[in-house]
Homo-oligomer: A and B are copies of this chain.
Amino acid sequence: MRKALVPLEPGSTIGILGGGQLGRMLALAAARLGFNVHIFCPDENSPAFKVAEKSYPYEYEDEDALAKFAQATDVITYEFENVPAQTAAFLSSRTALHPSTRALKVAQNRLAEREFLASNDIAIAPFAAISCQQDLERSLAEIGTPAVLKAQTLGYDGKGQAVIKNSEEIPKALASIGNVPAILEAFIPFEREISVIIARTPSGEISAYDPGENQHVNHILDKTIIPANITSETLEKAITTARNIAEALDYVGVLAVEMFICERPGFEPLYVNEIAPRVHNSGHWTQDACLTDQFEQHIRAICGWPLGPVQRHSDAVMKNLIGDDFYQWPQFAAMDDHCVHLYGKTKVRAARKMGHVNQIIPRKNTN
């Protein structure tokens, strides 16, 4: 069993599971630091393949291909949390895998995530495990309405979720998520959602970017605004919360923590909504407003390098180009304060993330 040297020398090879835009931007950042990149992804048209030294267009269950991938790489990471558990276990028995299989396990099951957070005294919405209609009836009575039913696995961009306003909606809600194992959560009447993008190295060095404020359209992230409209007290609490999570997981890499900010009496000021063990859409603003972006930071962390500076030189508004938004690229390319990032996807499809733009705004003097 080979383990990555710490720190990993430039010229080493980084393996990435997943060939979408996050894998592609990780590959570009790794190349800047002199690393070689191999991408493993079943989709033959993966945009990340086009910027990598080597591509593995195989299923995640193909252990022959995985063995070759592990043999050829010095450290492996991933762009998505739904890496099959068996794949992660297979690879981590052969080479260094960051973030760890434990982080994956916690992040890919909402019940495991909630239990992990609760056991570490992280503020989250009241929740209950749901495996049948009776569970749901009982838990809805305890938690009250409105509440949110969420499938335990494979949810993203609002998929696998249903809001329940009264008990009559129970059968419809269960059916809408496909009657799979779920959790029920109290609905938090939040004022805003923020993300903390934090990185941790194998030696325990930790560094967080300032939180961004997320705005969604149709349950998909539309904009992230930096700085978030929060008090310095809330900012500090948010970063401490993210730090506690990273430390409790003995985490290595970039971790995204979504939080709800609540200003009503009777509620916590801040609830953790979701954790993602990877670079995150809400951290794309760092590409143009910071000296080290989240992609380079992730590569530095998994390679055992010191973390880069996280201070921002500018404020920013990141906007996703989703589906037909893609065709607006000429307008954005002509703007003096926008940086354009396009993902090289061959087909424009509705709800597909095609690119993003970062509007860069001089920082207000905060002396």
Contact = CB atoms under 8 A, between A and B. Distances in A.
Interface of A: 7, 10-11, 24, 27-28, 31-37, 49-53, 288, 291-292, 300, 305-306, 308-309, 313-314, 329-330, 333-334, 336-337, 339-344, 346, 355, 360, 362
B330 A33 contact: no
Given A28-B32, A50-B36, A309 B337 contact: yes
Contact of A314 (B52, B313, B334): B313
B342 A33 contact: yes
A338 to B, nearest CB: 8
A330 B306 CA distance: 8
B288 A34 contact: no
Contact of A10 (B306, B314, B337, B344): B344
B50 A31 contact: yes
Given A28-B28, A28-B32, A333-B306, A339 B292 contact: yes
28 contacts: A10-B329, A10-B342, A11-B344, A27-B51, A28-B28, A28-B32, A28-B51, A31-B344, A32-B340, A32-B342, A33-B341, A33-B342, A34-B343, A36-B344, A37-B50, A49-B53, A50-B52, A288-B291, A291-B337, A292-B339, A300-B333, A305-B330, A305-B333, A306-B330, A308-B333, A313-B313, A313-B314, A313-B360
- What 5 A-B pairs have minimum CB-CB distances, sorted nearest first? A34-B342, A50-B53, A306-B334, A309-B336, A10-B342
Contacts of A292: 339
B333 A291 contact: no
**Which one of A52, A309, A333 has the highest number of Cβ atoms from chain B below 10 Å of its Cβ?**
A333
A314 B53 CA distance: 33
A88 to B, nearest CB: 26
Given A10-B329, A314-B313, A329-B10, A340 B31 contact: no
A340 B33 contact: yes
A52 to B, nearest CB: 8
B34 A51 contact: no
A305 B360 CA distance: 20
A360 B35 contact: no
A24 B309 CA distance: 25
Contacts of A330: 7, 305-306
A31 B24 contact: yes
Nearest to A326: B10
Contacts of A300: 333
Nearest to A10: B342
Contacts of A52: 50-51
Contacts of A51: 27-28, 31, 51-53
A304 to B, nearest CB: 11
A308 to B, nearest CB: 8
A341 B33 CA distance: 5
Nearest to A48: B31
Nearest to A7: B330
Nearest to A362: B313
A220 to B, nearest CB: 20
Contacts of A7: 330, 333
Contacts of A305: 330, 333
